[in-house]
């Protein structure tokens, strides 16, 4: 579905990001996987190469909140693979601090990575995509951007901002043949969820009509579809992939 496309995927070393890197590679894309630290990037690359030594994948670890670092890496990707067709803004952090104890610096940190970094990556990628005649920008949102959550207001606030950026950029960049969409995952079996005891997981599952926790591959599949030509007339959408979970 992605044969011949070049993708940059941030937060690609584990969880949803790693599953997305793998799905893109399986579907014929060339991928630049971005992570926060060299050691995690190298470990993820080694795991992918062990599975298939022929995978066209490279790794970088820029500070996504620094515009110049993002620009430098994206230019390297374009030089390495010849284009930049798809950007998946997946890097992000969460927290569940109650408002009364919320450190303003922690709130600022969440906004910096979850919003400012998405802006940096999107702006740099869009400039490259416009020059080459089009592309696709995809963002990781969350079901809490729609429902909120009972503590840790920074995370849902940041994802609500991602939704707004998604819809606004879709309207602005459509004329340049750049589609912009987001995926809003529900409860997904990441390391954090997998570590929860059964006594916590089961009541959670009972709130999900499909009666199961989502897998990282469920989100990766949505990204593959939205990045592909099958979604060529879809833009400005925040796609919920949550089993119809109600917060």
> Which residues are part of the catalytic machinery?
155
Q: Nearest to residue 228, comparing CAs of 105, 90, 52, 85? A: 85
Residue 140 DSSP SS3: strand
Q: How far apart are CA 144 and CA 5, in angstroms?
A: 31
Q: How far apart are CA 53 and CA 50, in angstroms?
A: 6
Rounded to the nearest 5°, which phi and psi values hold at 134?
Answer: 145, 175
Q: How far apart are CA 204 and CA 206, in angstroms?
A: 5
Q: How far apart are CA 171 and CA 178, in angstroms?
A: 10
Find all residues with CB under 8 Å of 138, minimum gap 6, and list them: 86, 87, 88, 89, 180, 181, 182, 183, 223, 226, 227
CB 7 within 8 A of CB 88: yes
β-pairing, 30-34 vs 6-10, is: parallel
């Amino acid at each position: 579905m992605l044969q011949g496309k070049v993708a940059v995927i941030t937060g690609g070393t584990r969880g949803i990001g790693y599953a997305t890197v793998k799905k893109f590679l399986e579907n014929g894309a060339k991928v630049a996987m971005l992570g926060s630290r060299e050691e995690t990037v190298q470990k993820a690359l080694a795991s992918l190469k062990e599975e298939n030594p022929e995978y066209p994948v490279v790794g970088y670890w820029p500070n996504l909140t620094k515009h110049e670092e993002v620009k430098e890496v994206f230019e390297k990707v374009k030089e390495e693979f010849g284009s930049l067709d798809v950007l998946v803004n997946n890097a992000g952090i969460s927290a569940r601090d109650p408002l009364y104890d919320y450190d303003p610096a922690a709130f600022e940190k969440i906004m910096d990575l979850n919003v400012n970094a998405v802006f940096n990556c999107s702006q740099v990628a869009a400039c490259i995509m416009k020059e080459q005649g089009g592309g696709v920008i995809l963002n990781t949102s969350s079901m809490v951007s729609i429902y909120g959550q009972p503590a840790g207001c920074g995370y849902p606030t940041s994802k609500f901002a991602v939704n707004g950026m998604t819809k606004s950029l879709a309207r602005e960049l459509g004329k340049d043949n750049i589609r912009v969409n987001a995926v809003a995952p529900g409860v997904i079996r990441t390391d954090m969820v997998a570590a929860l005891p059964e006594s916590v997981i089961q009541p959670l599952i009972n709130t999900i009509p499909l009666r199961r926790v989502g897998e990282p591959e469920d989100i990766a599949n949505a990204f593959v579809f939205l990045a592909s030509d099958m979604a060529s007339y879809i833009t400005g959408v925040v796609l919920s992939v949550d089993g119809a979970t109600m917060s």
